[in-house]
């Protein structure tokens, strides 16, 4: 459920409406990169691309001309990401890879698949992750959960080892 901050923050309530920014700052606007096909010829691997930030990141790179490999555990959701990208960028080269980034062998095999399919990997977006609620009752996290969440973010290291 979305919370309208103006209803909970008196400070925000006093801000004039004209202060609300609805457009994209020019320095982070992806449109010029899309128009120039700036990432054409590049191969981008995005972990955690089955939804959320990773899905959008993969889409934006594809719009800018990149070939993308998308990684997560849910093949069904990854296929939805692939379909979304191909609908937006007809002819986009999208490689779907299911892997648990906590599992080193699974990660190695994904990187091998990328190298086999595209012949290279230019950029790795190690986005897969898990956020838990840190309420006082639940914190500190049980050690196995802590280790697992940390490990999810280690995909970059594993991939780099695979390249060397």
Ligand X SMILES: NC(=O)c1ccc[n+]([C@@H]2O[C@H](COP(=O)([O-])OP(=O)(O)OC[C@H]3O[C@@H](n4cnc5c(N)ncnc54)[C@H](OP(=O)(O)O)[C@@H]3O)[C@@H](O)[C@H]2O)c1
46 binds ligand X (CB under 6 A): no
The 9-28 contact track toward ligand X, x by CB under 6 A, reads: --------------------
Instruction: Count CA within 13 A, CB hemisphere, residue 144.
Output: 0
Q: Which among 58, 156, 42, 55 has a CA at the least distance from the CA of 110? A: 156
**Smallest distance from ligand X to CB 108, Å:** 14
Closer CB to ligand X, residue 35 or residue 157? Answer: 157
Q: CB nearer to ligand X: give 114 or 128.
A: 128
Side-chain half-sphere CA neighbours of 19 within 13 A? 7
Q: Do the beta carbons of residue 50 and residue 79 sit within 8 Å? A: no
**Between 102 and 141, how does the x/- string for binding to ligand X read (CB under 6 A)?**
x------------------------xxxxx----------
Shorter beta-carbon distance to ligand X: residue 38 or 154:
154
For residue 101, the minimal CB distance to ligand X (Å) is 4
Please report, for the chain, how many H helices and E strands are present, in that order: 7, 4
- What 8-state DSSP symbol labels residue 14? T
**Alpha-carbon span 20 to 59, nearest angstrom:** 27
Residue 145 binding ligand X, by CB under 6 A: no
Interface contacts to ligand X, rule CB under 6 A:
47-54, 72-74, 77, 100-102, 127-131, 152
């Amino acid at each position: 459920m979305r919370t309208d901050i103006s209803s909970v923050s008196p400070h925000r309530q006093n801000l004039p409406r004209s202060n609300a920014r609805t457009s994209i700052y020019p320095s982070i606007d992806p449109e010029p990169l899309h128009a120039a096909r700036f990432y054409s010829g590049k191969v981008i691997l995005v972990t955690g691309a089955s939804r959320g930030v990773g899905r959008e990141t993969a889409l934006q790179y594809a719009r800018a001309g990149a070939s993308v490999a998308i990684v997560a555990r849910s093949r069904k959701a990854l296929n939805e990401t692939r379909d979304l990208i191909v609908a937006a960028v007809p002819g986009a080269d999208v490689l779907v890879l299911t892997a648990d980034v906590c599992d080193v062998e699974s990660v190695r095999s994904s990187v091998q698949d990328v190298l086999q399919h595209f012949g290279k990997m230019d950029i790795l977006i190690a986005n897969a992750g898990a956020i838990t609620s840190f309420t006082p009752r639940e914190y500190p996290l049980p050690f196995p959960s802590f280790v697992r969440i940390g490990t999810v973010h280690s995909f970059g290291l594993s991939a780099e080892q695979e390249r060397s």
